[in-house]
Every structure is written in C-alpha cells, then in structure tokens.
Structure 1
C-alpha cells in the first residue's frame, strides 16, 4: 500500500504539501494540486482509516459526486442535489458537492482526505468509471442510480423498468394497440443509466401485451423542439394512439403542442402518460397522468443507507428499487372506434 511520502515524491512536493492538499487546511496552487491528485490516483493512495476516524469521530459531511457535463439537464440534476442536501441536513450532515467532469479524480481526492464520512454518487452512467473506485476505497459509497456492473455496490433508484411497464399496461387496458415512446436525447442512452431502463420496460411490456411499439428521441445532445415535434408527428402518422413520454418538461410541451396543432384531443383521440418526470405534470395543459420520479424518496433512502454503513452492521451490497406510483389526471381514455370498427 502506498504511503504519503511516496505520493510526495511522485508529485515532486513535500509531505506537508500533500497533507495540505488532501485536507484542505491550507491553500495549494491548482497546478500542484493536479500533480498530487494524479499521484494519488496512480499510486492508489489511501490515508490510514484509523487516523482519519480517530476515536470513532465523524466529520458529519458526505460528498456528493455529480459531474456537470455538456449534456447535463440542470433542473433535474439540481433537484437531486437539493433533495440530497435536505436528507443530509435532516440527519445533521452537510454535503460537499463535487462537480468536475473527471468524477473519479474528485471522488478519489475526498476519499483520501478524510474530509467526509461517505460518498453519494449521482448521474450514474451504465459503465460508470466510479464503480471500480468505489470498490477500492475504504469509505462508504451509495449510488443513486444503478450501473450495469453493480456487483458489490449499494444502489438506490426508482424502478424505471416497472414504471414504463405500468404506463404501457394502462394504455393496453384502455384498448390501445399501437403505442409510442418519446424518450430522452440520444446521448442519454449512452451516458445515463435510467433512459435505457425505461426503454427496456416499455419494449418488454408492449411485447407482452402484443402491442405495436415505436420509439423516438427528443433530441441528440439536448432536448430540442424540432426533433421532438418530428418524432411525435411520425408516431401519430403511423397510427399511434397512446404516447408514453420520458423527457424534459420542455419536450413534453412540444409533444402536446404537436397533438394540439393537429386538432387532436387528449384523451379522446390520443392518450398521453408522462413517465419518470421530476416536474409537476399536473401543471401542464392538459394535466397528464404521470408516474413521477421523486428525488426526495431516492435521496432519503440513500442517506439512510450511507448512515447505516457507518455503524457496526452496515447494509449488505444490494439494489434498492423504489416502486412506481401512478397518478391519474384524465389523460388516458379508451380508443375511439373508427368506421371499420363500427361496421363490425
């Protein structure tokens, strides 16, 4: 196991400078800090856990790693930051927010510094680089999200697949035989863990119900009106009568605008359900049935798990999925019979 003097030698600085950089007790130049962080990562350095938690003391701080990338949808992500802050504060904890795009570096730095008691991981990617680091460090880590490789991790999240399946089943029960999913921007299906899970749940339930199912994104990198309107138009032209929308509030408004400009009525002509929305679907015109993503529920569970990890009997590695809740607001109706159906 690497020692602090080896880190100092690799970074070309004194041992005290390494200590200051990791503890934050004194300012260190950005260039020097970068060299030290690189040496910490390369040598996989971790300070002695006994010294860090001397006499069982705690810092009462959790780190929250939330990298801000070019495709980050700020309103959704900040709602999780706020929810995590509220959950932490309720337990007399503060949060140290880590937003650098190189998320492993910041996470490694705080794990080595002794500044925090645990780490909460947000904006989880399917193949998240923080997974390997979480397995190496000796500090409790809870993922708010489920990476593809989650063996040995503690994760908590909405059951997105069940949420999408619930929406499809509602449409099937109302007699819809052709359904469409308007999803996240295309890049989200590579960078985030939850959009693929929604699509899997949508496709699997549509297949089980024997429905024709189609999918469109709401943009490439960010939601955009042109892509969303075009996708909605294509689905409606193809005969889709039930829409499941897993997208931003801005994108959903474009979906509703396209439906309205065609002279179609919700739910008489088209049924619409919002899935995993972190905004108030009741405020839309018309109000939509939705299966909400409630950040506070996920963050409350995550903070509780992080606190339990500091006790004598920490929680075993597992995935904690929050059951979806359906809120009915009258945007789903029975399929209107066409002339051929009436004749029969």
Structure 2
C-alpha cells in the first residue's frame, strides 16, 4: 500500500506539502496541488485517519508514547508525562498513555483505529524506531527530544549542548582547571537516549576548547556505583575542584554524601553544578547551583506546536529552549594553594 512518502517522491514535493494539499489547511500553488493529486490517483493512496482528522473530525485525544525503559528514573519520567497531560488540558484534550517497551505497536494501534488526533513522543533515542513509523502514519506528531536525523520532524527540547557549555564555562571562569562529570545510568547511554549523549559530547568539546582537564563517569543508582564513580574521577583528575552532576536526584544526593564523608567541603574545596535537573536542588545537602530541566516548558511547547499542526500547519523544526543557571551557593572561585 502506498504511503505519504511515496506520494511526496512521485510529486517531487515534501511530505508536509502533500499533507497541506490533502487537508486544504494551507494555500498550495495550483500546479503543485495538481501534481500531488495526480500522484495520489496513480498510487491509489488513501489518507489514513490522521489526515482525515485534519479536515475537521476531531477526537480530542492525544497519544503520548512514553515507554518505560531499564535505567529510567521514574519521578523524572513522570514529571514529563504530567507536563504533557497538563498542557493538553489547556487545549481541552485528554491523553492516551502508551508505556510498553514495544512502543511501535501501540502507536500503530491508536493510529489505525482513528483514536487520536496527534502524537507526542517522549524519551527519544538517537535512532528511535518510532520515528520511521510516525513518518508514515500521517498523524501530526511532536517530539520532546532530538534524534540523530530530524528531517520532516517537529522537535522541542532543552538545549543540552548549551547547558553543558554553560556548566563548563561557569566553573572555568572561577578558575577551576580540572572538572569531572558524573553522568546517567550506563543503560541510558547504551540504548542511545538522545540527551545524555548530547550533553556529554558538548561537555568534552567545551572543556577541550577551554584547555580544561576533564573526565566523565556514568553512575548507577546505588552507593557502590557512586563511590566508584567518585574514585575514578579522583584518580583521573587528582586536582579536581569542579564537578558537574548530570544524573538523577538519588545519585546526586549520594555524591554529596560521599564528598561529605571524605571531608570535601562545598564550595570551599569543590564547586558543584547540578545540570539539567527536573527536581528542586534546594532540598539537597547542601543546595546546589542548578541548570533546570523545565518539563512544563518543553512539553507545553511541544503540545502547542502539535495543536498548530492540527489547525494552520507547522513547518518541520527543532526548537531548543535556552538554559539558565540558578545559583544556590555551591560554586566559588578556586582556592589557590
């Protein structure tokens, strides 16, 4: 059966142009529309439920694909799920939550049954199997996250690259010349989740650019792994006075406990930044300077762009929200010995 990609190739236009020509929601040149119509007839293409909804029939339901993977931190995961639900409510939409590891089967099911008007993808991996599927479903879709290839996609996320650069630049400006990074659970890197790889790559590139000695160690959510991570960083960076934590809240708490047990004072001996955290770092001991990960902002923007796709249409894009650093007193100028 022909799909929208086939029509676009035959007509020599983009997928979005085919969608606009079929839906009638955007003015298309007569010659272009004619090429699309001829391709549709020649290929016997039948727009699916998503395309028909663009013509006016709505279910007021969105599908939220948020698979639960090994290594995922439940509270952070649910913060994004709730942010999507709250944003959808502002548009009088309800949400169908899809959490199975086999994420593609659920998406096929809701799309084929004409159950939803649009799709939101969470926990996007670099080479996400869901992406090729949503390209063929012709159902408006928005991603919270940035995969390796973004052609014809609408993506929203925090600018993790800029967040990493900001973290390194802040510590470097204070005179710290050896900076460590404690990262996510190794399983998250292994499955190719997009954001930790983006952050790590930018951290290493910025450290190299500034002439900073840097090291990265992932950590699981247990005391033994955290101790091993701190030990490894100390071995690689014996004069380390700057530390960036890009990991979940329990791991950050354990890192702080290990430092305290070893008599390392914050910020007198070690300046620490909590990077891209979805939780309030004021409650940590001590409170940490933080670059917040604003689930409500990223998910709210993704839902808003999805609503635009359902009405006037949206060109494919990647929107990255700028990071900000909130100070709570956990960084200071490096103490010269």
Q: State how far apart, in whole Å, the 2-side matches of 1:326 and 1:251 are.
A: 20
What do the CA deviations read for 1:253-276 (whole angstroms, capped 9, x no partner)?
A: 111011111111100000000001
Match of 1:216 in 2: 217
56 and 211 in structure 1: CA distance in 2 versus 1, 3 angstrom threshold: same
Tell me what 1:20 maps to.
none
Deviation of 1:72 (Å): 2.4
Residue pair 2:50, 2:140 contacting (<8 A) in 1 also: no
Q: Give the Å deviation of 1:54.
A: 8.9
Contact 1:47 1:112 survives alignment (8 Å): no
CA contact (8 A) 2:241 2:269 kept: yes
Q: CA RMSD in A?
A: 1.8
Pairwise CA distance, 1:233: 2.6
Contact 2:117/2:139, CA 8 A, preserved across alignment: yes
Q: Is the 2:124–2:143 contact (alpha carbons within 8 Å) kept by the matching residues of 1?
A: yes
Q: Is the 8 A contact 2:65 2:121 kept in 1?
A: yes
Deviations 1:164-201 (A, max 9, x none): 11010000000000000000011211321100011011
Answer 1 or 2: higher relative contact order, Cα 8 Å, separation at least 6. Answer: 2
- Secondary structure at the counterpart of residue 175 of structure 2: coil
Separation (CA, whole Å) in 2 of partners of 1:50 and 1:280: 39
Cα distance change, pair 311–241 in 1 and its aligned pair in 2 (3 A) = same
Contact 2:142-2:305 within 8 A present in 1 as well: yes
Deviation at 1:236, TM superposition (A): 3.1
Structure 2: unaligned runs, 5 residues or longer? 3-44
What is the TM-score with the length of structure 1 in the denominator? 0.82
Relative to structure 1, is the Cα distance of residues 55 and 207 closer, same or farther in structure 2, using a 3 angstrom cutoff?
closer
TM-score normalised per structure 2? 0.83
Q: Which residue of 2 aligns with 1:232?
A: 230
Which residues in structure 2 correspond to 1:140-289 (within 5 Å)?
140-191=140-191, 192-219=193-220, 223-237=221-235, 238-289=238-289
* Equivalent position of 1:17 in the other structure: none
What is the alpha-carbon distance in structure 2 between the residues aligned to residue 62 and residue 153 of structure 1?
17
Give the direction of change, closer, same or farther, for the CA distance of 1:213–1:310 in structure 2 (3 Å limit): same
Contact in 2 for aligned 1:46/1:111 (Cα 8 Å): no
Q: How many residues align?
A: 293
2-structure distance, mates of 1:205, 1:51? 44
Gaps of 5+ in 1: 3-44, 339-344
Preserved CA contact (<8 Å) 2:54 2:310: no
1:1-44 per-position Cα deviation (integer Å, ceiling 9, x unaligned): 38xxxxxxxxxxxxxxxxxxxxxxxxxxxxxxxxxxxxxxxxxx
